[in-house]
Structure 1
């Protein structure tokens, strides 16, 4: 081993705590950065691979067969910018009766195609085969009907009551349909005067929404106005596919940035402290022949080696954390795109090690500039000239002498106190941000579960068999009878009931849930983002993803298909509801009266009068409800989310790492300070200071630093939360209202401010114990 290597090894051995701090800070920064960068880069890889392999359609357009002919649509394939097109295909929205489920619940959009396609939308068969004759159907794996080979879909409401056998399961990467049949089958599935056409287009350039919109304008330029009744852009599908993963990216970037900044601060502080306390050692190295550049490299190496070890551990940790996040997306598209992204790893490694090297070099530059004679003449004991005024002021306070000495100590070493404060500051920011994020996710879950009711009569859970839901032997409780029992209950203040049916919407693949309310549900815990709640029949509120998927906004109208008659509703509000990917429509039950929908999953929500015992109310109500086959329960329905659990766990792990790094940063500073003052501590002990007083003196030396850092870290953490949470919501396809963002109250902020003091105290406790245990004679002999 070279002389320089021995110096580096010896320095790391003497400063084990500092070495651990640098390694842990680098590992945390690298893990969060690799995780965030990898998710950002490979989140779209499964979709992109499947889209390229299946020649996905850049734009899918639905047309009204009464407004445009097949010949006119065929000419649109020659429009400017179209590279290849497929269609027109006949389409119909039909509602089958499943083998083991009641009718009226599973509307699907069926397209008649000769084959799975080649040049545009090459549908991938996951099981079975493509239909070759009437009476056969292929279901999409993304449809609302759970596809099972051999199951029968009957259509008793259509002329001739056709029945189709499922012969295959397939997936269209851009979700162009719920099912496919041979073209000759469409005649039996299309009632006179109904149905439509579908055209699929690939453009020469469709990389942005503006270019897709330009392509749409080109293909519809020569068609009658209003002929296109629905559209689906590949960018919308891609955004939906990336949504779950994109949710993690903003918060990981925040933690990665905090970790990087903390790494820079800690490396700079550790190296500067090593130079400051090792001045005489630097003089010895120079006197035996070390050049200034070699001395600088020795101190840079003492920081770079543990940082490199931390980086080596952080890279695989980041990839391991990314695997469960992306596994579901990879499985959906049947790709193997979840691979290591070398350039992301290299960029993070180069960035972190480059920052460590630059910071360590800047901090160690002073060591190279020191003159040998000056360095040898400097003793180890710190100058007593700093902080005298602060010590005199602290001595006048009505406090015990050890506490006064501790409070004055940060002013004797302001640079070191500032470095410790910076570490505590970022720890306080991380804790504040994590507490706020957990509270915000709790608000999202409250909006999801709609549990504002005092009492709920939930819908009985359906039983499931191999063919899907199995209807129960007993009939559903009569809603009018249940409502009458609730209204007759002593203490009922207000109530409403909610029932669900299924429908399709032009421009959105698959069926959507339509929740129909009987009674005023505005108090039921539905969190409005914009607009207002339903006020009259014909109005609806929808979640943000629905608006994005259908290209609509408040004030627009949408048509719900798949019931006895189409129903057109006007969107008057945007509601926060992440259930079912946000593809829901909330409206009044009277809006659907003419369509005669099959309403299922009916639940009842009740608020009792003030002063009424809720448990007693439920017991009395159940005496009337139990014979009807339903039962009331206290409170609203509970809801949970694997994604929320994962986010909370991930943020807790990263926060604990940041807090540990911050506490170790404080430990490093206090340890250096305590060792510098060991002779002074010996004098205090000789004059009668007890071990308990010694501990109090060392701990109070970080009180001012901890309180100031906590007071600054809390508002910065609140500000970070205010920036990151909306970005996380946008990543999930949601707009978050103020009630989800403004989650901090005075009762929560004060303990968070004290959190900075707690971090500082945790870091100072081990050095305090060491100082208390040092023998007086040993301390007095130390130079």
Structure 2
């Protein structure tokens, strides 16, 4: 074994460049695959683990207390298919007229519960204690972390009821309520519904959850079930934004793996072909065929292990900011977001194994090669298809150096095929990134107009809305003013409250985000993003009943937004007037006229009303920056790797043809002609690779943009390909090939004739 190791180490030292190429390829691939696996794991495992720890409810059901008694509901716990149940609990929706803690004014779903434990939905207390007396309330903290003890003791002003004091913060993975009080306090609040929490023996799919709930409520009076919520809906909401990045990272991971296999196979195959005499020497010295194969496998395993280790470290470091963006603004509850250990373990074991498998076929060729044949092998290619192609090209009027170069790929068709495949993947990656960048830039520009600055001004309770709006509109530099009121509302048939944004004024920028239907322009109309519609089972044309502060109004979904908060609904101000005429504005957004100075406008606002605190909005979308940045990095890496694959092929060809190059230079071929011949030898794989890579990249781009669940791209943002752009992309394959061939071509041009022929 020591002899194999010494021979392998010597081979690594001799082939420093190939060693570097393999290490870089494996590093890039490992980083990309680790990010994809880590995001996949973070999109499901943290939720499942926290949900199981808290014995989360597979279904949260609300019932009409006038139709189903407490005794009837309690008996549903023993129905077939019910593993465990909790309840019945009294439930009501409180109306808070003012903003409280981190929440906006509006509806708050409250449940009466004696303790946080139980067989289902064990609520995790984060700060303070559980409510034990009337007048106390425990509030749900939806995001990861804790609010801090300084917020305990906050008094919530409730419309039509005495104030409630916050004595604790807790979190429920079932999202069964926005807050909890004692059963006695719930009785005083006059509950409008009754809640039951169920865990079923089978709840892996939506159909199983529906079937379990149907069996559990089969004996109840008709129409007693008013609303339901599945844990699968919560899980999809938890991972919705992270899932948007998965197609993108998965595709780059697959491309990286394919490039790894091609480059490793190419490097080892070339090492075997160019090192036949070395193989013969090893076998003549007593190396067995297995030991010779082990030398070549070890030769690629060493850089693969180093590249895999570095790629794992880089991937873990890059995962933190990616996960931060992917889970920003999402209700994570008690789920601890992290990349976990198994993606790193899979990469550390799987990537070197993949490299060994890719190297196995060419290594077996060295295993089968006899010592006598290996030692007597010449360096020139054998006669065959390559020479026939050379003769045909020689009959054309092309320069001789060019015809010699164009014919070289046909002398080694298998190696040329591997090189072409690497260029195809490189060109496809460039095409994919170009399309993604164009799509994401167009997405980021929606609502920004011609680059004009926008200023956000929070509302001041002491100033009338209309007066503030008119003042902001009259200041120099203002172009459009949009007024927004943010509140929480309840939807009939849905247990959770949702946010609702009500707009008036100039809403043209907002309407630009509609991909289906139209922006709400009248009372009773609303629009929402794809995540909201999917999670609530709604589509354009459906109608829901919105309730706020004792009022209710039917609302029709008239538009689907390109993107939107998964828990937010957009509507017209006149709908808010129907629900609560006393509601006030939350903020104003001022779009400045083109060329207007934002700082001057801020100073003008401060001079007009010192109580207002305007800020300039950041025009850059986080998702756009993240996707374009990651795509650019991966593209550079994979393009460099593809170019290195061409570099390796051309370098091996130069080494094999040293004698031919010496003979050609001895009969008058100039160094410039040698460069032309060598570079043109990569032109055929480059041209074919570029031609095949463009449609592959276009298809990959379409797959990615069609499977981003939180964004519904309009067709105009998907059709980003234009003739000048495609013409430039067509040159990408050739550019990759030329870049890869240039250095070995110049090395070939500098070969000394006497030195080459002397060694021969």
**TM bucket by the smaller chain?**
0.7 to 0.9
Residue 436 (structure 1) shift: 2.3
Moved more, 500-509 or 715-724: 500-509
- Whether 1:409 and 2:416 are equivalent positions in the alignment is no
Match of residue 658 from structure 1: 638
8 Å contact kept, 1:136–1:167: yes
Partner residue in 2 for 1:150:
153
Greater displacement, 122-131 / 685-694: 685-694
2:254 alignment partner, SS class: helix
Shift of 1:422: 1.5
Partners of 1:524 and 1:605 within 8 A in 2? no
Shift of 1:323: 4.3
| Mapped contact 1:104–1:563 kept (Cα < 8 A) | no
**Which moved further from structure 2: 698-707 or 345-354?**
345-354
SS of the residue aligned with 1:205? coil
Deviation at 1:213, TM superposition (A): 0.7
1:299 aligns with 2:282: no
For the residue of structure 2 that corresponds to 1:593, the secondary structure is helix
In 1, Cα distance between equivalents of 2:508 and 2:154:
41
Tell me the SS of whatever aligns to 1:460.
strand
Distance of 1:414 and 1:439 partners within structure 2 = 37
Hey, what's the Cα distance between the residues in 1 that align with 2:81 and 2:715?
A: 43
Distance change >3 Å, CA 770–CA 550, structure 1 → 2: same
Q: What runs of 5+ residues in structure 1 fail to find an aligned partner?
A: 463-470, 608-612, 631-635
1:187 CA drift (Å): 5.0
TM value normalised by structure 1: 0.84
Deviates more, 1:390-399 or 1:24-33: 390-399
Distance in 2 separating the partners of 1:620 and 1:53: 54
- Secondary structure of the 1:759 match is helix
Whether the 8 Å contact between 2:458 and 2:587 is mirrored in structure 1 is: no
CA distance in 2, matches of 1:651, 1:543: 25
Question: Matched residues in 1 for 2:549 and 2:462: separation?
Answer: 25
Partner of 1:478: 467
- 3-state SS of paired residue (1:94): strand
Match 2:677 to one of 678, 694, 697 = 697
Where does residue 561 of structure 1 map in the other structure? Answer: 547
Please state how far the C-alpha of 1:240 moved relative to its aligned partner.
1.9
Mapped to 2, the partners of 1:756 and 1:132 lie a distance apart of: 71
Equivalent residue of 1:95, what SS?
strand
Q: 1:604 to 1:646 in 2, by over 3 A?
A: closer
253, 256, 268: which is aligned to 2:253?
Answer: 256
Count residues in correspondence.
Answer: 749
What is the correspondence of 1:641-680 to structure 2 with a 5 Å cutoff? 641-680=621-660
SS state at 2:539 partner: coil
Distance apart, 1:472 and its partner CA: 6.4
- The answer on whether the counterparts of 2:316 and 2:339 sit within 8 Å (CA) in structure 1 is no
Contact 1:91 1:195 in 2 (8 A): yes
SS in 2 for 1:132: coil
CA deviation after TM superposition for structure 1 residue 583, in Å: 2.0
Greater than 6 Å deviation, 4+ residue runs:
99-104, 143-147, 327-331, 453-457, 482-486, 489-492, 604-607, 616-628
Return the alpha-carbon distance in structure 2 between the equivalents of residues 395 and 101 of structure 1.
Answer: 82
Q: Is the 8 A contact 2:228 2:495 kept in 1?
A: no
How far is 1:318 from its partner? 3.6
The alpha-carbon deviation at position 477 of structure 1 amounts to 4.5
Task: Call closer, same or farther: CA 1:364–1:708 in 2, change over 3 Å.
Answer: same
d(CA) in 2 for partners of 1:43 and 1:484?
44
Deviation at 1:716, TM superposition (A): 0.5
Change (3 A) 1:74 1:530: farther
1:24-63 deviation digits (Å, cap 9, x = unpaired): 2233333333332343235423222222222212111223
361 and 618 in structure 1: CA distance in 2 versus 1, 3 angstrom threshold: closer
Distance across 2 between alignment mates of 1:619 and 1:254:
43
> How far did residue 620 of structure 1 move?
13
- Once the two structures are overlaid, the 10-residue window that deviates more, 203-212 or 178-187, is 178-187
User: Aligned partners of 2:85 and 2:101: how far apart in 1?
Assistant: 38
Query: Is the 1:498–1:515 contact (alpha carbons within 8 Å) kept by the matching residues of 2?
Result: no
Q: Distance in 2 between matches of 1:722 and 1:412?
A: 37
- 1:760 paired residue number: 737
Q: Which residue of 2 aligns with 1:441?
A: 440
Aligned residue among 538, 556, 570 for 2:524? 538
Match of 1:272 in 2: 269
Partner residue of 2:129?
Answer: 129
Once residues 731 and 458 of structure 2 are traced to their aligned partners in structure 1, the CA distance between those partners, rounded to angstroms, is 47
Q: Secondary structure of the equivalent of 1:167?
A: strand
- Aligned-pair distance for 1:101? 9.2
Counterpart of 1:662 in 2: which secondary structure?
helix
Please identify, of 554-563 and 636-645, the stretch whose mean Cα deviation from structure 2 is larger. 636-645
> What residue in structure 2 maps to residue 717 of structure 1?
697
Pairing of 1:343-742 with structure 2 (within 5 A): 347-349=346-348, 351-383=350-382, 387-388=386-387, 390-391=389-390, 394=393, 401-447=400-446, 450-452=447-449, 458-461=455-458, 471=460, 474-478=463-467, 481=470, 497-506=482-491, 511-518=497-504, 521=507, 524-534=510-520, 536-578=522-564, 581-595=565-579, 596=581, 598-601=583-586, 603=588, 614-615=594-595, 638-727=618-707, 729-730=708-709, 733-742=710-719
Cα distance in 2 for partners of 1:737, 1:95 equals 38
Query: Alignment RMSD, CA only?
Result: 4.0
- After superposition, the C-alpha distances for 1:228-256 in whole angstroms (9 at most, x for unaligned) are 33322111112222334333333332222
Shift of 1:670: 0.7
Given that 1:504 and 1:511 are in contact with CA atoms closer than 8 Å, whether structure 2 keeps it comes out as yes
User: Against the structure 1 CA distance between its residues 516 and 223, is the aligned structure 2 distance closer, same or farther, given a 3 Å change threshold?
Assistant: same
What's 1:211 paired with?
Answer: 208
Instruction: Measure, in 2, the Cα distance between the counterparts of 1:472 and 1:694.
Output: 80
